[in-house]
Amino acid sequence: MTLSFSDLALDPAILKALDKMGYKEPSPIQAEAIPLVLQGHDLIALAQTGSGKTAACAIPVCNRVDIERPLVQALIVVPTRELALQYATEVQKIGVEKGVKAFAIYGGEDASMQQSKLKHGVHVLVATPGRLIDFIYSRQIDLSHVETLILDEADEMLSMGFYEDLEFIIQCLVHDHQTLLFSATMPKDILKIAKNHMKEPREVSLTSAQASPQTIEHRFVYCHFKDKEASLVKMMKELQPKQAIIFCHSRGEVEKVCRSLQKQIEGVDFLHAGLSQDIRSIITGKFRSGRTRFLVATDVASRGLDFSGVTHVFIYHLADDPDLYVHRSGRTGRQDREGIVITFVTDRELRSLSKVLEKIKKEPIWIGEKPKLQAPTRRRYIPRRSK
């Protein structure tokens, strides 16, 4: 029997909002996590990107909020500004019929304006670690009524060096509270946080042996470094994506590739952390609404952000970290939709490719020329002559 949201004992106002949003039935992570959160358990939830983790957290949080208390009752900590905005928007939509007020604080925005909003009453606060700690130090925020702490994209925050910041934030919540930890992978520091700060956490793991969803096709293009831009343009014109993200490894490479594409293709923009928050918000808004067709980006766009219209991902520069490949590719194929990932591989990147293929457990499917994979040659040992 198919489970529906009405089977989860949710507030009628939450059910009404979910119906308006087009949420018909819970995803596997939502079906398993929501009852545990509503029962008050601490939770470690592992699931693939695009599986509905945001709503799995936001739905029970909104359900538990007491709107008569204009205090921060749930604190959600996320790694990036874009994800903070997206999370706050999702919480606001889910809680709108009930009257839940959500707000996001993050760096790059006027802190005094954010403080003013907090004074008007916020039930669910979404924050990046740095700005939240600024507010804690300056005593501009009251966390004494927080009943639920959520660490989302926890593995990403730890990889960005936020372990000590997260420890500090958790230690500021000296009263009894529920802790929820959502992640795509389980590095040792997550286990350390769980051991130190969680009370007999329940675990929900929906990360299958297949690291990448089956709905995503993985294709590879072998080319020389000097031919990468031409190969990218050729593939984009041939495939005619409805919407695509092109991942590069640095801000400089992003801008260089973007300038090249803009001369040959319409609807191209770029995104990286060097842009002001206002500009970043405008760019992500245009891309999410479909007004921008192609987005050249650093990995600021690889984690958490839900661009549901993305049909293709082009990986211009293959990173050595296979987990990063999984997160980049996860920007397409959201919610069981089909998606295609095209990766450009040079001789220098063949070693990184082998790690990726081992991670996603797939044989490479090449478009055009295949690389000549040769076993490494050993240098013959020649003994040195004594002087």
- CA dist 261 and 276 (Å) reads 23
Q: Which residue has the tokens 């949080």?
A: 61
Average pLDDT over every residue of 85-102: 94
pLDDT digits (tens, 9 = 90+) for 29-87: 899 999 999 999 999 988 766 678 889 999 999 999 999 999 999 999 998 888 898 89
Beta bridge pairs of residue 178: 148
Quick one: pLDDT at residue 338?
83
Beta strands in 305-372 (DSSP E): 312-315, 339-345
Report phi then psi at 52, rounded to 5: 95, 30
- CA dist 50 and 214 (Å) reads 12
**377 pLDDT tier (thresholds 50, 70, 90):** very low
Quick one: pLDDT at residue 212?
58
pLDDT over threshold 70, residue 282: yes
* Residue with more model confidence, 174 or 186: 174
pLDDT over threshold 70, residue 14: yes
Q: Which residue has the tokens 């500090």?
A: 168
* Residue with more model confidence, 156 or 93: 93
Judged by phi (left if over 0) then psi (alpha if -120 to 50, else beta), residue 215 lies in alpha
pLDDT digits (tens, 9 = 90+) for 316-333: 999 888 878 887 887 887
Most confident of 9-23, 148-162, 208-222: 9-23
pLDDT digits (tens, 9 = 90+) for 116-132: 888 888 999 999 999 99
Beta strands in the chain (DSSP E): 43-46, 74-77, 102-105, 124-127, 148-151, 178-183, 202-205, 216-222, 244-247, 268-271, 294-297, 312-315, 339-345
Beta bridge pairs of residue 269: 295
Q: At what angle do helices 12-20 and 53-64 cross, to 10 degrees?
A: 150
Q: What is the pTM of this model?
A: 0.71
